[in-house]
Chains A and B, each alone.
Chain A
Amino acid sequence: MKCVVSGGNIKILARAIQMLSKIGEEMFVQPQEDSLSFRSVNGSNSSFADITFHENYFSYYAYEDLDESDSLKCKILIRSALTVFKIPSLINKQIETCHIQLDANSTNLCFILKYKNNIIKTHLLPILDCETIRANYKKEGTVNHLCIQPRVLNDVVQNFQQNLLEITIEVLKDKILLRNYIDETSNLSNETRTQLVFGMGEFDEYKINSNTTITFCLKELRAILHFAEILAQPIHIHFDCAGRPIVFICKTLGVESNLVLATLNPDDDLGSQSTTHTRPNSVLKNSAKKPTKAKGKIKSLSKTVFGKLANKYPTNTNTEKIESSDKISNASETSSPNNNNKFNATNSPRVNSAKVIASNSNTNKRENDNSSKQNAFSSLLKRKSNQEIHSPDGGDKDDLVQNSPPKQPSKKAKLIFKKCFQTTFNPESLPGYNNIEVEDSGESD
């Protein structure tokens, strides 16, 4: 495989590698007959990115060895790919063309950069392995579909702290609420809760068929936003409901980037409870582990989600299942209706209970970062097209920042003494209540 990228397109290539470097450690290069794909997956298989450059992106593209197509796919370290475009400022000014060359059974992937001042740089990146990955996910036909300009979404995401791990999006028929996700192990009174509301006018397309609340990693979202910025094309967001993957797509004529993220499953525990009778041991183990795992460790968190998913839909390939292409199973594209029903059934009660909890903790409610919210609103206002701003009466509701979808409360601790505080509790009803185990300690000694 041989191809040449020239002019402004080199910048896109550099950004693509930058984006992939934020996802995983390795980059899979897969040349196809009329396109070249770069893919990356993170260590816990909870996020997957695929950037495909089509033939018209290149000034020249030749996929020569049709017979040896198998030997062409390869895996390299993303760190070595990053060194090719080490200094972004040089890319615009200095580099004229970039050749990428991959020979069958070669040990190196070759990048040749031609500079304006006649310098030629040849980077030979060692190939680690001859394998590729593929993710099975559906891009079209999801329940919910949004389309937004990356700049708008970027402005919104800027309002959250840089070190925030996960973000929760609640989609409603006419608006979207964006919150920082706080996991149940952290103390709510120490956390800043930020919520941003944006109406459907901000979106180029807005198709919400079922209200849902999903939580996913912010880091990867930031990565694709950064990449989408240079493509200057809207981002399409496809998702179903919590626990199912969310897909971000941004494409131009020549380049298509897909990002698939796992979402946190808020009814994880309910779901596992419903299946307790089938696999009691494994489930109990999982839920017992949860609180320690969830502590800020996004990877392990996502991993559990995926693990659960795999358990839940053992035969369903629509749930994102990343595997090496050698063993991709050709499972049916449609999910079995049974599974979906079960999913929805478990979903709704959980959302309700989340709301109840939120209204109970009234005192905490206004802790949201007002200033940042204001900023967001003002920036939204400035940009505002014909979209009506939420009127003060509607705004009341928006002021409520819901708690992040809670996971299992630690039942044990609460239940032990719960009974004592019930009005109907009569200590005399307990057997042996008047037995004296130890006499009162007297003053006489």
Chain B
Amino acid sequence: MSIINDGEYKLTAKLGNVKIVLQLLKAVNFKEYATFCVSANGMKITVEEAKCMQASAYIPVQLFEEFILTEDVIFRICLDSLIETLSMLGYRLYTPDNPILLHILYKRVGYPVGILIERNGIVVDCSLKSYDPDEILDFDLDPEAVVNKVLLQSELLKDIFAELDNSSIYLELLLSPKSPYFMISTKGTIGECHIELPHNTELIETFQCKKESKSKYLLKHMGRAMKAVPFSNKVSLRTNEAGILCFQYMIKTDNDVNCFIEYYVSPVINDDDDDD
């Protein structure tokens, strides 16, 4: 299958591996719609909720087999439908010698996004309606503003995420230059739980803590932000003075390209009910 690009399309992209794309999309799929920003570096898919949580998945240009972009484009499409389309040919059966190919085509504003997936000669052709993009919030966590930074292997977080107490509304994250260093706490109807993480094992690559910070986040938000833990390799946690937390996951693909997922979570402030 080949696509003739007669200059009509602003974007023509071809991917040999649907599985990784699906994984990335599903990890940010907490809202129905997503904004796609395509630039020469690759594709960035952003999902936002109520200006207090944002998730972005990055597909670098190296992952594409073919990537022709005449000018930077930005559009919004229904993420649910896209995921449904990509799952149509059964991505779980994916093997390196029996791949599912993906083509993405986009003409210009007002035109639908064309999605073609192919496997063993079976072609699924889909057109997804494109919408005008929303403004994307810039959480702006520049390196100088970062107070605390932890870089760790995802393995360490895997079990913690699975065992979090769902009856709790909030999750408290404590980072401190002195003991207990790194602690996650929940407080639910059926008890309190404090999880102390080590700060100096081989699973922690960097632990930079300038001063103690203690912030409360909605457990719902944290649950989403930890969705990428199971299939990622490394994760970095950064917080700024205001308590905005950024998770950045690094995901290694089969052909040694690194994909990234980023989550920004804003803290819960002035919560008097729980400070008894």
Contacts and interface: CB of A to CB of B under 8 A. Distances in A.
A86 interface: yes
A121 B194 contact: yes
B271 interface: no
Nearest to A86: B163
Interface in B183-206: 190-198, 201, 203
A77 B190 contact: yes
Given A90-B163, A119-B156, A83 B197 contact: no
B52 interface: no
Contact of B203 (A90, A117, A121): A117
A368 interface: no
Given A80-B190, A125-B190, A119 B165 contact: no
Given A83-B165, A86-B163, A90-B159, A122 B203 contact: no
A87 B162 contact: yes
A124 interface: yes
A126 B159 contact: no
Contact of A83 (B191, B196, B198): B191
B191 A126 contact: yes
Contacts of A79: 190
A295 B165 CA distance: 37
Given A83-B165, A90-B159, A121 B195 contact: yes
B190 A118 contact: no
A119 B160 contact: yes
Contacts of B159: 87, 90, 94, 115, 119
A103 to B, nearest CB: 15
Interface residues of B, number: 18
Nearest to B157: A119
A370 to B, nearest CB: 40
Interface string B10-47: 00000000000000000000000000000000000000
A284 interface: no
A87 B203 contact: no
Contacts of A126: 190-192
Interface in A317-359: none
Contacts of B195: 119-122
B1 to A, nearest CB: 44
Contacts of B198: 117-119
A108 interface: yes
A123 interface: yes
B259 to A, nearest CB: 25
A329 to B, nearest CB: 35
A120 B162 CA distance: 15
A126 B163 CA distance: 18
Contacts of B165: 83
Nearest to B187: A124
A174 to B, nearest CB: 50
Contacts of B193: 83, 121-124
Interface string B139-181: 0000000000000000110011011010000000000000000
A108 B194 CA distance: 13
Contacts of B190: 77, 79-80, 83, 125-126
Contact of B196 (A86, A87, A90, A119): A119
Interface string A92-111: 00100000000000001000
Interface of B: 155-156, 159-160, 162-163, 165, 190-198, 201, 203
Interface of A: 77, 79-80, 83, 86-87, 90, 94, 108, 115, 117-126
6 contacts: A80-B190, A87-B159, A117-B201, A121-B194, A122-B196, A125-B190
3 cross-chain pairs, A with B, having the tightest CB-CB distances, nearest first:
A118-B198, A80-B190, A124-B192
